[in-house]
Every structure is written in structure tokens, then in C-alpha cells.
Structure 1
Amino acid sequence: MTAAINILVVDDIQQNLAAVEALLARPGLRLLKAASGAEALELLLVHEVALALIDVQMPNMDGFELAELIRGSERTRSIPLIFLTAATREPSYSFRGYEAGAVDFMFKPIDSKALVSKVKVFVELHQQKQQLSAQLKELQHALHLNELFTAVLGHDLRTPLSVVMNGAMLLPMMTDHPKVAVTAQRIQSSARRMAHMVDQLLDLARIRSGDMPLRLAAADYAELCRAIADEFHAADQAQRIDLASSGDTLGQCDAGMVSQILSNLVGNALLHGEAGQRVRVAIDGGAGGQVAIRVANQGVIPAPQLGCLFEPYQQGCDSRKTGQGLGLGLYTARMFARAHGGDIAVQSDTAQGTVFTVTMPRQPHSPLNPQEQQSA
């Protein structure tokens, strides 16, 4: 059964309270009657109210003073207020009422049809607000369950994946048949790609749940970049990454998170850059409070895609278009940077190619929560 919606009526004359009650009485509405401002405040401490009808001329605490107290509380400041008054219609009088927080003025004798109509509008608005609040809670609950499912699924997939990868490594040792070696290589490649997707899902679950504790330690950003460049250097191929650093590249960071940021940006630069062109990684420690890392190639990102690069699951905005991932790499990279109090920006045009710039504070401050990170 739906709970009744409360309407607060404040008037020091009992006959006026009874008249308003008789006028507004209907199923689903409950009138809370107060003969003074103090009684009204006591009722507001206990009940949720969709609308307050307040008489202006009352002893001890008039309607304007009551309205100011209602507006001064976080819990009650959003309640719509309609003043009922027999006073003059002078503009200065109305101005004071609106300044106190009124949404409307009604002068006595009250037009009953107008009052019923106005109350009906505010009751419907309150019902819509309640429905939206309930829907939001349902969506939040569904999102939480989805995040739990993603985290559990990602965690449980790791064990069978490890078995597959280890088995693929052993296959070539058991026979010298060339087709077995080729098949084993394909299995290993697919398993590594799947492991990368699982890691992305786990990263997403961590971000959504707010479970991103920073394991801060002293680190050299230049050394972290050099280690990532070495990982992408195939022994049988020429090095495609030019690495340069300047200034003081030391700082406090979570080296694991920063390595994931760099791995994603460098991997994308190698994958999406012009064939034969080198990727440039520059670490700039010239600023006192931060370190900047720039990853550049000669590729150009189409303008329509620039606005959605850092959004999750965006087709064509990440390595997903080549089957390398789920479209989560740049999203998680930015979230990891923001967890440190830093950020990632991108510029792309035909003159300079594409440049991703990571700015990281040397001493990370209190990180944003996940909602703030996504809206920043």
C-alpha cells in the first residue's frame, strides 16, 4: 500500500486549519496541522512533507521567520512553501516572502479552486520525485550486483586461463610436429588476449566499486617508462620507441597503476600509429609539483572520436576495434591517473599527430571517489 503524502498547514486560528483540511481532504493525502511555527518545526523533524501552507501573521514566530528556519535546514530546504495571508498586496511585502523562500502567495479569502489546483500540482511533483528516487535505488542496486558479478567472473576465469596457457607452453615440448607448434602459439596468443580482457574487467570492477587503494612508494617515472618500452621491444625487431627525459623524474606513485597507464598508451601508440613511424615517449620533470609524460605517434584520431576516447565500451575509440580489448583501456588509464590526483589529455591533428599527456603530482593528494572521477 502506498504511503499517504503529507501536506503541512500552519495557522494560529483553528477554524482556518479546519477549513483547509475540509477543502483538501482526499484519499492518499494527510494534513499535518500546526498552530504555531514551533509546532510546525516539530512535525518537520518527524515527517516528510510534500508542501507547506503557511499563514504569515502568527504570534511569536511569523510565517517569514518560519520559512527562513525551514530553508536553513538541509533536510527541509527543498519543501515548497505557499504563504496564505490576509495582508496587503504591496510589492515589498511579497518580495520579503519570496526572499524567505516562498514559491507562491495566496491572499485571503482563499480561492478554493486555485488552492486545490496548486496543491494537486505539488503533490504530483512529489510523487514523481519519489518514483525517480525509487528507480535510482533500483538502478544502483542492479549496478552493484553487476559489478560483483563482473569481479567474481573475472577472478574465477584466471585459474582455467592459467591452465590453458601452461598447457599451450608444454605442447611444443611433447612433439616436433610443426602444426602442433603453430596451434600452441595460437592458443597462447588467444589466452593472453583473454587474460588482458579479464584484467580490464577486474579494473573496471575496482573503479566502479571505489576499491582503488593506492600503494604509494618512491618511483622514477623515467625508469617505469623504460621498463614498459623494453616490454614492447621484440628481440627480432628494431626498437620503435624513442625515449627521452628531462628534469627531476622522481615522485610518489602506485607503480603498478602507473605501469598500466603507460602500457596502455604505448601499446595504443604502436598499434594505431602510421606504419614504420616511431613512437616518442618524453618524461618532463621540469615542473616542481608534477611530472608530465607525453606519448606521441604520427597517427591522427578523427575529430568525432576525440570526445569519447575515455568513455568505457566505445566502439572505435580504443583498441577494441582491432579485437585487442573491450574498449576499457583508456577509461581505466584515466581513472588510475585521477586516483593519484592527475589526469590524461589528448591532442590530435595532421600537423603533430596524436599526443597523449599524462600529468601526475609528485605527492598525490586525496583521490577523488569514482563518481567524481567520472564526472570530472
Structure 2
Amino acid sequence: MILIVDDIRANILALQKILELHNLQVDSAESGEEALRKILKTNYSLIIMDVQMPGMDGFEVVETLAGSNRTKDIPVIFLSAVNKEKKFISKGYESGGVDYITKPVDPDLLILKVKTFLKLSEQKNELKNIRDLLSKEIEIRKEAQENLEIKVEERTRELSAKNEELELRNHELQQFSWVVSHDLKEPLRKIETFIKIIHERYLMKDEKADDYVNRTIRASQRMSRLISDLLEYSRLSSTVIPEKTDLNEILKEVLTDFDYLIEQKHAIIQQGNLPLVTGVPSQLRQLFQNLVGNSLKFVKPDVSPLIEITSEVIDSKDFDAVPSATGNYCRITVKDNGIGFNEVYLDKIFKIFQSLNDRNSYEGTGIGLAIASKIVEKHNGLITAKSSNGNGASFIIVLPL
């Protein structure tokens, strides 16, 4: 069966008519989110995907499908009437599409391509069935040779099935996170927009109403940040291949993102030379964003923030390890002169939804340090902090090189 994904119903009907004239079974979805829900329930041989849609666009949907073994091999043909530039076509192929067709569509060319990719899909399935038959034949012969091998094979199959089931559940959870994140944020944006309109048109002269409106807007903005942080936290469960990463480049990007806030608060950043590590660049960037962001957020009144970021190579995975030029670990310290905290609460600060400060004074969701802790844990490292009330804080990270 072929799935057509397009937010314009007329486009779907036109394509559906072309395909059905050639006796091809067709299903349809009018958004990226609906398409993901259908793909979880139905096995499709081919997807024809519109690029430009509200919510999740075609590229985002295909990138999400590529994240699961169950859906990554479904061929996707992109259709676009707007994005005809080379960069969009390249992005289509990079995201996992097998072809990129611009509108208006030539029906004969479309049918030719559809039938070609369907044939390739059938051949792929035939090869898979042959491979499965050969695997079964090998298993039968092994079973005839030795009982021990039977038990090993049975156990292997059980673990493989459980692994596939876990992967499917993880994929479903990721789809759920994407859909829920979008569905929750949309009404929040509307609440904020309409509250601002009501405020500007009807309540500008009412001081009490003005206060209530500002509180409502802050609450919706905090909820939006909370949804984003929760989604970021859930993404850390997915498996990503690590690579050689220059932490100096990572920190440079983070400081560039914060340049306006640094200038606004007259912050001073003192940075030492950081090492190369094997890790996931996006996660390490998130780690430094959260730590530097905290140092810029929790500052003393009328005191310019001073943030020192230093590193040294150490001989073992220990916070108090001895510096060693030939060591296999690095110790990174992010130190500031902010409000600090009581070390009695050290275990609490790295747990999700835990915040030691008044949210009216310091905006936050209580997830930032929990994300930092989880990132360090996924990199087989350690994280802790040293502080006292009013005397700044030092976050210490130990990572393998």
C-alpha cells in the first residue's frame, strides 16, 4: 500500500486518482503527525511526501522514520511545488528520501517512478524472505548437531525479539514525544497571543489586570520551556554514535549563542584550553549550554558575572585524581561568582524537577542540571558541584578522553 502525505486534500485526491487508475492501493494523511501515527499501525511499501506542511514538515517526518529499524527502509518520494532550489532537493536526499519531484507532477513520470520503487521494495522483501529461509535451514542443521547449540540459538532469538520489541517501544515513545510536544505547544502559543491582544485592546489602563496578564504570559512561557526541556530529556534515551569532538569548538558555539546575554550582564568569560573527547557533539553542546546558562542566570544583584572554564588531564576516573599528561580522563570545571547554593542539597540539584531558587526571581524548569547529569552519565563520566550560599558555584565534570 502507498501512503500519500499532503496537508491539501485536493492534492491527495489528484494523486490518489492517478495511482488508483493503475490498480495501486492508496492511503492518505493530511499532516506529518497523522502520517507517523498511521505508519506505526500499517506497513507501507512507499510514501509520497509533501515537503511544506504546518507542524512537522516532510523532512522532519522522514528524519524521524530514519531513526527506527522498523521504518528506515520505507522508500519516500518527496513532492514540492515551492522548495525547488538545489539546497532543498539535497536536503530531501540527505534526510532519507529516494527521490524528489517538483510540482506540477507529470503523471506518467510519477507512475514510472512509483512502480520502479515498488518493484525494488518487492525484490528487497523477496531477498529478505530468502535470507530468512536460509537462516532457518542453518538453524535446523545446527539443532541436529548439538543440543547445546539449540539452547544458545533459542536464547539468542529470545533476546533478539525482546530487543526489537524494545526498539519498537522506544520508536513509539519518540513519535509520541514529537506529537505531544507539538500538540501541547500550539494551544500555549494561542493562549499567549490572545492574552496579549486582550491586554493591548481592553486592559491597558487597569493596573491589576495588567499584573494578571503578565503573570499568565509568564506561566505559558514557563510551560513552553518545560515541554521543550522534557522533550530534550527524553531524547537522551536514544542511541547516537559518538565521534571525536573538540570541546573548544563546542564552547565557542555556546558562547556565541549567549553573546547577547553576556553583553547585557557585562559578564566576563575566562576560558582555558579544552581537550578532544569521543562523544556526541549535540549532547556535549547541551551540557555546556546548561552549565554556562546557569552561571548567567543565578547571579548576584549588581555584580557582573565571572565565569571560569578550565580543564586538565588526569590519571583516573575520580574527582580528586592527580593531573597526568598521559592520563585517559579530563577534569573540566565551570566556576562562577553567583549566588551559589548550600551543599546539603547537592544530590537534589541533579534530579529532574528540582529547583532550589524562587522561580519568580530566577526563571527555570528544574530540568537543566538533570539533563547535564544524564549527558555526563551517557558519556561514562562523573559530575558534581561545590558551593556555598552567596559564594558562587563550581561544577566539576570528569570525562574519558
Give the TM-score normalised by the residue count of structure 1.
Answer: 0.45
Give the TM-score normalised by the residue count of structure 2.
Answer: 0.42
Structure possessing the higher radius of gyration over alpha carbons: 1
